Structure 1
Amino acid sequence: MSNTPKAKNCNNWYASWFDTPYYHILYKDRDYTEAQLFMDNITNYLNLPDNAKILDLACGKGRHSIYLNQLGFDVTGADLSENSIAEAKQFENDTLHFCVHDMRQPFSGLQFDAVLNLFTSFGYFDDDQDNLKTLAAIRDSLGEYGFGVIDFLNAQQVIDSLVPQETKTVDGIDFHIKRFHIDGNIYKEIDFEDQGCAYHFTEKVRAFTLEDFEGMMETAGIHLLEVFGDYKLHKYSPKSSERLIMIFK
């Protein structure tokens, strides 16, 4: 549609879609109980010290950062979305802070006991060098005894179970969703109308496999320590696991 309004005049889909209220409307019913269970499990597994410093990289509106802070950790939430960070900042306290930050850049002068990149917040960049920069930035943001965690989709399982087309109605808005896999990317096209305007957004994430991550981590000088396949930290299976959760340093 030539007259389709966009949230921003921006070449990067993630810088516009994630900054709209519609992104948060569409995903408002995500299972945060499951997310909290994962954060309980992963912080226990890492055996982080009391008051450990955690970076929640690509934190969105900060819901998970807030929960991690409630567990007793000193948390910094970082996200590219100015609107999301502006909303998250209302929850700041002495041990919870939020900032606008590009994940390709390390945190100057700050070192963390853990850097968590949760719920498929990796693989948005078209240029492989940008994905490598992100891994290097995580590496450089870790303290000497720090751990990195990337929680990614299990690409093969997602591709095998893609629902090609569906409509989700949330808050009176009909979101028409199409999904497909092409050229090593998993796409989700989202069309909807609201208040007389038609909108179109496309989500795209690289269909990285464990082998892809192993190659990138080797290039970035990162040591992969453990791989899990779900939020209960069960063993990873390429064909059946729901997630690809990697622990590294």
Structure 2
Amino acid sequence: MTHEIGDYKTYSLAGTDQEVRFITNVLNLSPGQSILDLYCGYGRHAIELAKQGFEVTGVDATQDFLDIAAQKAQEANVNITFTKEDMRELNYVQNFAAVINMFAAFGYFTDDENANIIKLVVKALQPNGLFLIDLLNRDWMVHNNLNRYWRHPSGEYVLTYKVELEKGIVTMKRQLINQVTGTKTQYQFVLRAYSLPEMVKIFRSSGLSVLSTYGGFDGRSYSSETPRMIILAKKNP
């Protein structure tokens, strides 16, 4: 389980175990079915899903994260395909029963590019496939501090985020520290924080129907007062 401290504690107290439990409950898939973890980071969710018998593919644009994910998957004795790829260039055709996109990994490009990513996700889904996306709740962010800190269970890696919001644009500064070597790798991202009506519009134009919207990994209903905006959608026939 990850450990989180500081002002971010109200945003996610769940940890990996509860997050994966939520993911498997809402997707309601059978072991052996295929899942794409889109921008998988260092594989927290992908590894746990693979342990449960799902066929998992992890895609991320950051090689450092993929290297960590591959190492941890090997230690966990699970077989996961990890691929370095820009989500704007996904090239899967009906490969997956579900695609998941966790922890604000969407919105880093122009509006047109972001909308096209959703179309590529739909293309990657099998008929009636499911898409689960976890987004920052823009309304909640206005009144809350989003800085966060994670320590990997092994203690080897620490990941910190500093987040600023202004006029719907989020600036996210991410730092990965190897506690053993002292190596620090820094990234800065700017992303577009979408409202729920905006996401519903993008989904509809891409061939997705929204099934449910949640405000947290505890399954609470979404509102302007919930820290997250987690949307479950289904590929239209």
What TM bracket, shorter-length normalisation? 0.7 to 0.9
Distance 1:70 1:184 in 2: 37
Show CA shifts across 1:120-177 (max 9, x none): 111111x1111011111111111113100001111110112137xx898x99xxx998
Q: Which amino acid in the other structure matches residue 201 of structure 2?
A: G
Q: For residue 130 of structure 1, what is the aligned residue in structure 2? A: 113
Q: Which amino acid in the other structure matches residue 117 of structure 1?
A: N
Distance 1:190 1:95 in 2: 28
Q: For residue 43 of structure 1, what is the aligned residue in structure 2? A: 24
User: What does 1:140-219 correspond to in 2, within 5 Å?
Assistant: 140-162=123-145, 179-188=163-172, 202-219=188-205
Q: For residue 224 of structure 1, what is the aligned residue in structure 2? A: 210
In the alignment, structure 1 residue 247 sits paired with structure 2 residue 232: yes
Distance 1:49 1:199 in 2: 38
Show CA shifts across 1:166-195 (max 9, x none): 898x99xxx99875432420224579xxxx
Q: For residue 15 of structure 1, what is the aligned residue in structure 2? A: none
- 1:86 Cα offset (Å): 2.7
- 1:34 Cα offset (Å): 2.3
Greater mean alpha carbon deviation, residues 182-191 or residues 149-158 = 182-191
Distance 1:153 1:97 in 2: 27
Residues 52 and 234 of structure 1: CA distance in aligned 2, closer, same or farther (over 3 Å): same
- 1:83 Cα offset (Å): 2.3
Q: For residue 99 of structure 2, what is the aligned residue in structure 1? A: 115
Distance 1:138 1:182 in 2: 28
Quick one: which of 79, 90, 98 aligns to 2:82? 98
Q: Which amino acid in the other structure matches residue 51 of structure 2?
A: Q
Q: What TM-score do the two structures reach when normalised by structure 1?
A: 0.73
Distance 1:76 1:176 in 2: 25
Residues 37 and 180 of structure 1: CA distance in aligned 2, closer, same or farther (over 3 Å): closer
The question of whether the paired residues in 2 share the 8 Å contact of 1:112 and 1:146 is answered with yes
- 1:66 Cα offset (Å): 0.6
How many residue pairs end up in the alignment?
214
Q: Which amino acid in the other structure matches residue 136 of structure 2?
A: L
Distance 2:66 2:161 in 1: 27
Q: For residue 40 of structure 2, what is the aligned residue in structure 1? A: 59
Residues 242 and 94 of structure 1: CA distance in aligned 2, closer, same or farther (over 3 Å): closer
- 1:104 Cα offset (Å): 1.8
Give aligned-pair identity as a percent.
29
Distance 1:210 1:129 in 2: 17
Residues 32 and 137 of structure 1: CA distance in aligned 2, closer, same or farther (over 3 Å): farther
Q: What TM-score do the two structures reach when normalised by structure 2?
A: 0.76
C-alpha RMSD of matched pairs (Å):
3.5
Distance 2:92 2:226 in 1: 36
Gaps of 5+ in 2: 5-11, 176-183
Distance 2:96 2:208 in 1: 16
Residues 32 and 51 of structure 1: CA distance in aligned 2, closer, same or farther (over 3 Å): farther
Gaps of 5+ in 1: 1-27, 192-197
Show CA shifts across 1:101-129 (max 9, x none): 2212333345111100011111111x111
Distance 1:182 1:107 in 2: 33
Distance 1:228 1:167 in 2: 21
* Paired residue secondary structure (1:223): strand
Distance 2:105 2:171 in 1: 14
**Which one has the largest radius of gyration?**
1
Residues 226 and 83 of structure 1: CA distance in aligned 2, closer, same or farther (over 3 Å): same
